[in-house]
Structure 1
Amino acid sequence: MPQPSAQVTAAEISRIAGVTRATVSNWRRRHDDFPTPSGGTESSPLYDLVDVRAWLGARGHSATADPAEELRTALRLHPRATGLTGSLLPLVLAAARRTPEERRELAGLSDTGLIAYADRAAADLAGLVPGAEAVRFTGPDIDVLRALLHCVQGDGTGETALTVLAERELEDSSVGGTYRTPVPLADLIAQLVPGPYEQVLDPACGSGALLAAAALRGARVLCGQDAVPVQAQRTTVSLLLAAPEADITVRVGDSLRCDAFAELTVDAVLCNPPYGDRDWGHDELAYDSRWAYGVPPRAESELAWVQHALAHLVPGGHAVMVLPPAAASRASGRRVRMDLVRSGAVRAVIALPPGAAAPLHVGLQIWVLQRPEPAGPERKSVLFVDTTEAAGGGDRATAASAATATGTRGTRSALDWPSLAEAALDQWSAFTESPDAFTDEPGTARAVPVVELLDDVVDLTPARHVRASRTDIAPADLARETDEVRLRLIAGAASLGEAARYTDWSAAGPSPREWRTATAADLARGGALTLLRTAPESRESGGDASTATLPVLTGPDIARGTAPSGAPGSLRTDSAPLIASGDVVVRAIAGGSGAMARVANAADEGALLGPQIHLFRPDPARLDPWFLAGFLGSAENIAAASTGSTIVHVSPGRLRVPLLPLEEQRRYGEAFRRVHTLRAEAARATELADETARLLAGGLTGGGLIPSPPPATDDKEPGIGSA
C-alpha cells in the first residue's frame, strides 16, 4: 500500500521556507490556494507535506529553506527515524567526499536512482563506521535522503548533517551531558601539548573535535572511544573527512569500565570527559591498576579520568583535560590531588571564563598533566593561569547564549578567543622553557612551589593562587593610576550628562503610530540594501597576508559600542567582508545586555566583519543608516525575527523596517544616534566607576593608599588600635 504523506505544523512550514510564523499565517489568510489542513485541530492544524512543498516550490520559497531544518523535519516525519542514524552516517561521508558538481548530479537523480546510489554507498562504507550496517533504502526514505544531500551541499563539509543526525539520535536516548567541545577550545587544548606528537587518544571523544584539532597539529594516529554509539560513529565520519591520511581507530564503549585501548600508550591524551558521574564504576574498579595516585572517591569521577589519561601516556607524555572547577577543590579528592601534585604529574591549571564551553554557567578549567619519567627532572612548581580578564569584558549572558545547553549542536561564544588562547599559551610556553625563572604576573599567572600546595586542602583553583595584591605595586604608581582613572571617570560622567540632555521628542498622540513595513529581505531584493555575512569558520586557513592583521568587529564590540577588538584567529579572512563607514551591523545571536545594532563609523572602517554578525549596507539615497539601525535593533523586531530557545539566532531577512520618506527617516535616525550615544556613554561611565572603586578599595586594604589626615584638631577619637 502507498505510504501516507507526512504532516507538518505551521512552525515547521516556516522553518522549511525560511520565513517567520507570521508570514505563514499571512499566506494562509491571503492565498486561497494555500494547502488546507489535513489533520490536527483548529488551533493547531497539520498540513500535508507534499502539498506544502509543491505550493512553496511554485512560489520560489523552497530555495530559501534552511538545509539543517529541512533535515530535522524529514527525520521527525520519517516512520523509522529512530535508529536510522547509523545507516545515514556513511552517506554523509560518501556525499562530502564528492565534488560540488558531483553532488549536484546526485541531486538531479530520480528517486529510484538516488535510492540505488544510497544502497551502494552504505554497503561500501558501512565497515568504516563502528556499528553501522549495510541497509536497503526504500521509497519512504527518499525525503530523508534528499534532505541529507541538500544539507551536505549547504556547507560542503558534512559537519552540519553530522550534527543534525547525532542530535536526533541523542534526543531519542536517555544520554545526558553530551556536550560538544567548541572548536576554539579544542584548538587551544591541542596547542598546549609541548612539541610535536604523533599518537593521540581521546577516551571520551564525543563529536571528535579534540582529535580533529590534534590532526591539524600533525598527529597521524588518532584513537578515540565513547560510550554513546552515535558519538563514536560521528567522530569516525568527521575524522575521515577532516584527516583522510590519518590512521583512525574509534571504538564504542565506556573507557573506564571497558577500556578498548588497554595496552596502548600514546604521546598525548586530550579529553573533555563527562562530569559529576557517580555511577562511573567505583566499586567494580576499586583495585584497578590505573589508580597509581589513589583510588578516586565515588564523587570524583573526574579524578578517575585524570588517572586513566596518565596511564595511557608514555613517560614524559602530556595529557590536557577540561574539568569542572570542583575537581580542583572538593575535599573528597584531596588525597588524590596531593599525590598528583607531589609526584609532579600536575603541570598547570588554567581557568576559563564562564561561557567558554558547556555547561555555560561554570568557569571550567584546563588541567595540563605529564606522566613522570623515571629518574626524570624534579618538578618543583605548578603553573596557575586565570584567563578571565584576557577573554574580554563582554557580559557572560551574551557568551553563554552563543552555545547550546545540550551541547549536541555547534557552539561559538562571544569570548575573545584569540586573546584568551594567547594569554594561556604565552604563560605556558614561558613556564615550560624555564620553570625556575618564570616571572609571575599578578592577577593572571603564578608558578606556585609544590610545597606550598601540599596543605590541608590542596586547592588547585587558579584564582586562589594568582590573585593580584595591591602590595605588588609601588604606592606612588598606584596613586597615580587611581587618579588617572578617577579623572577619566569625571570626564565620562560629564559626557553622560551631556548625552542625557536630549529632549527632542514628544508623545505621538492618543495611540502609538502605525506604519507599513517591509522585511530586510524585500529591501535587499529591491536594491535598497545589501546583506553580507562572514562565511562559517573553517579549520583550514582561507586568509591571506593582506587581511591577517586587520582587527575584527565582534558581538561584544557592538553591545558595548566600542571599536573592533577581535583578532582574525581562525576567521576565514578571504570571505570576511571589510566594514565601511555607514554600514549597519547587527548581532546574530540575541541575548545579554547592550545594543543589538549600530552604525559603523570611521573607527570601524576597514575592519573585518566577525562571526555571528549581520552587515546591512544601505543605499544612502533610499535608507538612512541610523534609522535602519534603530529599527533593526529594536527588542520587538529582534524577538519576532529570532528562532531558538537556548541559543536565539536572529534571521536577518525577517527583520522589518518601516517604509518612510528619506527626510523622515533622517529625523528618526538622528534620534536613534543620540540614544546610541547615551547607551555608550552610560556603559563607559559604569566601567570607569567600577575600575575607580576597585583601585581605591584594593589600594586602601593593601596599604598602598592611605586616607588623607583630617584637619588639625585637639580632639582624638579612640580606634581599634588606640591605647
Structure 2
Amino acid sequence: MTAAEISRIAGVTRATVSNWRRRHDNFPAPSGGTESSPLYDLEAVRSWLGSRGHTSAANPTEELRTTLRLRAQNNSGSGGSTTDLLSLVLAATRRKPEELKALLDLPDGDLADRAARAATDLADAVPGARPVHFTAADAPVLRALFLCVRDEGGQAALSALAERELEDSAASGTYQTPAPLADLAARLIPGTPTSVLDPACGSGALLAATARRKSSELYGQDTLPVQAQRSAVGLMITAPEAEVTVRTGDSLRVDAFPDLTVDAVLCNPPYGDRDWGHDELAYDPRWAYGVPARAESELAWVQHALAHLRPGGHAVLILPPATAGRASGRRVRRELVRSGALRAVVGLPAGAAPPLHVALQIWVLQRPEPGGAERKSVLFVDTATGSDRGSMSTSVSASVSGTRPKGGSRPAPLDWAGVENLAVTAWEAFVRDPDGFTDEPGRARAVPVVDLLDDMADLAPARHVRVTRSDIAPEELAADLDAARADLLRSTRSLARAARDSDCTAAGASAAEWRTATASDLARGGALAVLRTSPDTVPGGAGGAHGSEAARAVLTAADIERGTGPTGDAAELRDSAAPLIAEGDVLVRAVAGGEGPMARVAGEGDTGALLGPHVHLLRPDPTRLDAWCLAGFLGSEDNIAGASTGSTVLQVSPGRLRVPLLPLAVQRQYGEAFRRVHELRAEARRAVLLAEETARLLAAGLTGGQLLPSAESGEGVQGGNSHP
C-alpha cells in the first residue's frame, strides 16, 4: 500500500505519515516500490497503527477494499476468488440491518458457516458461480462485506469486489457507463419497453437505467465473467421484481440469446476491436445492412442489436465518433440510412464517458416494420455545441485571465441536465412529427435521407447541425462582428497599457546578484510549506477529507500552462486528502516544458479548489515572503532547469528550487514587477483569441454573403456585380 492509502486508513494527512516515517524507528520499512514512491505491507502497517491506538478511519467501502487486498496477499481462506463473494452481497442485501448486526456478532467459525450457506443458496442466480466454502480465516473479509452492505448498500460492496477482481485479472477497457449517460440512453427509447437486452452489459448500468423506467425482462451478456456476475447481482438488487438473465461470453461470436427478440437494445460496446470475428462471421445472417469491415466492429454491434429487435423496436448504442465517418464503414452507413433503420445521431461533449478525451455519440435505431411508413429524414443533435453560451468577451476573459469571476465563468462540470434536455426534447419532437420538425441551427436538424447518401455517408452531428449562411441574418452577423471588434480594440488598449506598465530599468554595468536558499531550506525554517497531491488517479477516489468534493473544481498543471481557472474533475482524484488552494498560494507545474508559465499565484478564482496531480503548492508566510516575488523566481527558466531531473520527462523537484534572500520591502518591488508580467501574458492571450474570433466572423460573413467589402476595400463591388 502507498503512503496515501495509509493516510486514508489512519485518518491523517500524508504529511503526518511522512513525519511518522522520519520520527519513529519502528515504523514499518518499505516492502516494495521505489525510494520516491515506497510501498508498505498492509498487515504490518495496520499492526503498527493498532499499537499506537489508531483505529481505522476508513469508510466501510474503503475498509472492504483494504481487507480484500490483505486476503489476497495472505492467500488464506478456502473460500475461493473474490467472485465467490458476489452472491453473498445479494444474500446480504436481503437481510435487515438488525440481522446483519447479529451476523457480525457471531464467532468467526459460525460466521463463515452462515455466510457459506447464504451464498450457496443464491449461487444459481449468478452466472458461473459455484458452491462456496468459507473458513474462520475468511471472517475479516466477511465482516467487512456485511458492514459495507449494512452501512453503504449492496452496490458499494459489489463495486469494491468487482474492482478487486478486475485488478487481479488485469482486465482492460472495462469502463463503466456513467449513470447520467445511462439514464439519457434509456430515455431515448420511446415508451416503456418490457424486454431489454444489453449484449455488452459490463457493470449493468444501461439495464439498470431501463429497470428504473419499469422494464421487467432484463437480458445481458459480457465476455468477462466478473462483469456478467456483477451485472446480474446489481440488477437483482436494483430491480428485485424484474426477471434477470445474464450470461457470460462473446456476443458476436457466441450469442447466448440467438433466438431472442426484444422491445429494446441498449449497448455501450467495446471500441476499436479488430479481433471481433470478421473472418469467421463473414456470412453471418445478422449482416443485413452489409458485412462490416475489419475496422468496423462498432457497425457489427449495431447490426447485432438490430437483429435482436422485434419489428418497430428501438436500439440505442453509445459509439465513438469515428463510426460516423470512417471510409471503411460508408456502405453499411448508407444502407442503415436508406432503409430507415437509423433514426437519430446525438453528439455528446467530451468527458461524457470514458475515454474522456473523445466526444462520443449516441445512435438511435429502429428495426423497420414490413409495410411501415417511409422514413424521409434522420435527426442530428449536437449537445456539445448546443448549450447556450455567454458573450465572446466573457468566454475569452474566462479562458485567459488565470482566475474566474464570481459567478463561475470557468469551464463548468458537464451540464448533464442541459445535455439530456436538448437531446430528449429534440428526439421527442422528431418522433411526434418527423416531417414537421423545426430545425434549431447549431443544435438540432432533421436532414433528408437523400442528402446523406453521398460517397462518404458522413453522419457526424456537428457537420449537419452547423449554422449555415441561410441561417444567419446579415444584421445579426454584423452586430456580432461589431461587438467582437469593440472587444478587440479594448483588449489591444489593455495590452498596450500592460506593456508600458512592465517597464524596467537596467541593473548597471553588471547583473544583480543575491544570496539564495532552496525551497527546502525555507520550509525547514518555517517560511513556507510545500504540498502536493498524490499523482495516482482513479475514478471516484476523492471525497473523504473535505466533505463532498464532487462540487469542487481541481486546479491542474494544464490550467497553469494555459492561464485558465480550475478545470479538473474531483471525481478523478485518488487522494482524498488533496489540499485546498488558498489565495496567495504559489502553484508550480511538476513537469517542466510546454509554452506557458511554470508558476503562478493563486487568485480569488482559485480559492477553495483542490490541488490537482502534477502541481506543487508552496504556501509562503506573508510576513516573510512575497507571493508574487516567490512565483516569479521559482518559475524562471534557469531555476526550473536546475531543479529538474529526468531525460525524456523532466520532473521538477520543488525542494531544489532556489529563492533569493531579499528584504520583504525589496521582495514586494519584485513581486509587483512579476505581477505586471503576468498581466502582460494574460492580455496578450486575450488579444490573440479576440483577433482570431474577429477574423473568423469577417471571413464567414464575406464568404457567406452576409457581409460586403466596404468602399475603402476596393472599387466596383455592387451587390456582387463587378468587373475585372
Q: Give yes or no for TM over 0.5.
A: yes
Say if 2:15 is the partner of 1:25: no
Aligned to 2:656: none
Q: Which residue number in structure 2 is paired with residue 702 of structure 1? A: 704
Distance 1:139 1:42, change over 3 A: farther
Task: Give the secondary structure class of the aligned counterpart of 2:464.
Answer: helix
Secondary structure of residue in 2 paired with 1:269: strand
- Residue number in structure 2 paired with 1:442: 441
What is aligned with 2:478? Answer: 479
5 Å matches for 1:492-641?
A: 510-511=516-517, 514-515=522-523, 516=526, 533-534=547-548
**Cα distance in 2 between the residues matched to 1:519 and 1:103:** 45
Query: Aligned equivalents of 1:370 and 1:31: distance in 2?
Result: 67
The answer to whether the Cα contact below 8 Å between 2:484 and 2:690 also exists between their aligned partners in 1 is yes
Asked if residue 339 in structure 1 is aligned to residue 335 in structure 2, the reply is yes
Alpha-carbon spacing, 1:700–1:67, altered in 2? closer, same or farther (3 Å): farther
- CA offsets per residue over residues 264-283 of structure 1, 9 Å max, x none? 22111100111222332333
User: Bigger radius of gyration, 1 or 2?
Assistant: 2
Q: CA deviation at 1:472?
A: 2.4
Query: Which runs of 5 or more structure 1 residues have no equivalent in the other structure?
Result: 1-7, 399-412, 521-529, 537-551, 566-581, 614-622, 636-663
Q: State how far apart, in whole Å, the 2-side matches of 1:420 and 1:555 are.
A: 22
CA contact (8 A) 2:347 2:382 kept: yes
The separation in 2 between residues aligned to 1:67 and 1:676, in whole angstroms, is 46
CA contact (8 A) 1:211 1:222 kept: yes
What's the Cα RMSD here?
Answer: 5.2
- The one-letter code matched in structure 2 to 1:695 is L
TM-aligned CA deviation for residue 222 of structure 1: 1.2
Displacement of 1:366: 0.8
Mapped contact 1:16–1:69 kept (Cα < 8 A): no
Whether 1:202 aligns to 2:198 is yes
Given the alignment, which residue of 97, 108, 111 partners 2:108?
111
In the alignment, what sits opposite 2:465? Answer: 466
CA contact (8 A) 2:555 2:609 kept: no
SS, match of residue 345 in structure 2: strand
Question: Is 2:267 aligned against 1:253?
Answer: no
Cα deviation digits, residues 592-645 of structure 1 (max 9, x gap): 9999998889xx9xxxx99999xxxxxxxxx99xx99x99xx99xxxxxxxxxx
CA distance 1:57–1:687, change in 2 (3 Å): farther
CA separation of 1:40 and 1:705: change in aligned 2, threshold 3 A: closer
**1:129-149 Cα deviation digits (max 9, x unpaired):** 111112111244334334434
Kindly indicate whether the alpha-carbon contact (under 8 Å) linking 1:353 and 1:388 is maintained by their aligned counterparts in 2: yes
Q: Is this contact kept in 1: 2:194–2:217, CA < 8 A?
A: yes
1:471 touches 1:704 (CA, 8 Å); kept in 2? Answer: no
Residues 562-603 of structure 1, C-alpha deviation per residue, up to 9 Å, x if partnerless?
A: 9999xxxxxxxxxxxxxxxx9999x9xx999999998889xx
* Secondary structure class of the residue paired with 2:516: coil
Tell me which amino acid in the other structure corresponds to 2:48. Answer: W
Moved more, 468-477 or 365-374: 468-477
Q: Is the 8 A contact 1:350 1:365 kept in 2?
A: yes
The aligned residue for residue 216 of structure 1 is 212
SS class of match (1:332): helix
Match of 1:288 in 2: 284
For residue 64 of structure 1, what is the amino acid of its counterpart?
A
Match of 2:125 in 1: 128
Residues 189 and 145 of structure 1: CA distance in aligned 2, closer, same or farther (over 3 Å)? same
CA contact (8 A) 1:351 1:462 kept: yes
> Residues 236-265 of structure 1: CA distance to partner in whole angstroms, max 9, x if unpaired?
111112222222111112222222222222
Post-superposition Cα deviations, 1:445-478, rounded to whole Å, max 9, x if no partner, equal: 2211111112222222222222222442121221
Alpha-carbon offset, residue 676 of structure 1? 11
| 2:127 alignment partner, SS class | coil
Q: Which amino acid aligns with 1:167?
A: E
Q: Deviations over 1:161-201 (max 9, x none)?
A: 33332233333436442222111111111111122222211
SS in structure 1 of the partner of residue 517 of structure 2: coil
Aligned ranges for residues 16-165 of structure 1 at < 5 Å? 16-17=9-10, 19=12, 22-35=15-28, 49-59=42-52, 61-65=54-58, 66-67=62-63, 69-71=65-67, 73-74=69-70, 76-79=72-75, 84-98=81-95, 103=100, 106-149=103-146, 151-152=148-149, 156-165=152-161
* 1:252 maps to amino acid: T
Deviation at 1:689, TM superposition (A): 4.8
Q: What does the per-residue CA deviation read over 1:28-52, in whole Å, with 9 as the maximum and x for residues that have no partner?
A: 2213443467899999987664442
CA spacing shift, 1:351–1:36, aligned 2, 3 Å: closer
Query: What is the aligned partner in structure 2 of residue 420 from structure 1?
Result: 419
Report the counterpart of residue 365 of structure 1 in structure 2.
361
Q: Which amino acid aligns with 2:421?
A: E
Equivalents in 1 of 2:90, 2:677: separation in Å? Answer: 51
- Bigger drift between 307-316 and 509-518 goes to 509-518
**Which position in structure 2 is the counterpart of 1:190?**
186
Q: What secondary structure, in the 3-state scheme, does the structure 2 residue paired with 1:446 have? A: strand
Aligned identity (percent) is 59
Long gaps (5+) in structure 2: 390-394, 400-411, 505-511, 532-543, 568-581, 613-621, 636-664
Distance 1:160 1:450 in 2: 46
> Counterpart of 2:450?
451
Distance in 2 (alpha carbons) for counterparts of 1:182 and 1:350: 17
Residues 49-68 of structure 1: CA deviation (Å, up to 9, x unaligned): 44421332354544323436
1:423–1:60 Cα change, 3 Å: farther
Q: TM-score, normalised by structure 2?
A: 0.70
Whichever residue aligns with residue 709 of structure 1, its letter is A
Rounded Cα–Cα distance in structure 2 between residues aligned with 1:204 and 1:453: 29
Letter aligned with residue 485 of structure 2: R
Which whole-Å CA distance do the structure 2 matches of 1:246 and 1:160 have between them?
A: 21
> What SS does the aligned partner of 1:261 have?
coil
When structure 1 is superposed on structure 2, of 38-47 and 16-25 the one drifting more is: 38-47
Equivalent residue for 2:402?
Answer: none
- Decide whether the 8 Å contact of 1:269 with 1:318 is kept in 2: yes
Q: Distance in 2 between matches of 1:118 and 1:342?
A: 57
Q: Which amino acid aligns with 1:455?
A: D
Does the residue aligned with 1:237 lie in a helix, a strand or coil? helix
Q: Which amino acid aligns with 1:389?
A: T
- Amino acid paired to 1:86: T
SS of residue in 2 equivalent to 1:52: helix
Determine the C-alpha separation between the residues in 1 that align with 2:611 and 2:374: 47
Distance 2:257 2:529 in 1: 60
Contact preservation (8 Å) 1:115, 1:138: yes
- Residue 579 of structure 2 corresponds to none
Q: Conserved in 2, the CA contact under 8 Å of 1:391 and 1:415?
A: no
8 A Cα contact 2:83 2:162, kept in partner = no
Structure 1 residues 662-697: Cα deviation after superposition (integer angstroms, max 9, x where no partner): xx9xx9xx9999999999988876665554343223
Q: Counterpart of 2:618?
A: none
| 1:406 corresponding residue in structure 2 | none
The alignment partner of 1:533 has SS state of: coil
Are 2:302 and 1:312 aligned? no
Decide whether aligned partners of structure 1 residues 713 and 464 sit closer, same or farther in structure 2, where only a CA change above 3 A counts: closer
- How far apart are the structure 2 equivalents of 1:57 and 1:454? 70
Mean alpha-carbon deviation: is it higher for 204-213 or for 285-294? Answer: 285-294
Kindly provide the amino acid, as one letter, of the partner of residue 271 in structure 1.
C
- Residues 681/117 of structure 1: CA separation in 2 closer, same or farther (3 Å cut): farther
1:396-432, Cα deviation, whole Å (9 max, x unpaired) = xx9xxxxxxxxxxxxxx94222222222122212211
The number of equivalent residue pairs is: 611
Q: Which residue of structure 2 lines up, in the alignment, with residue 269 of structure 1?
A: 265
* C-alpha separation in 2, matches of 1:472 and 1:143: 67
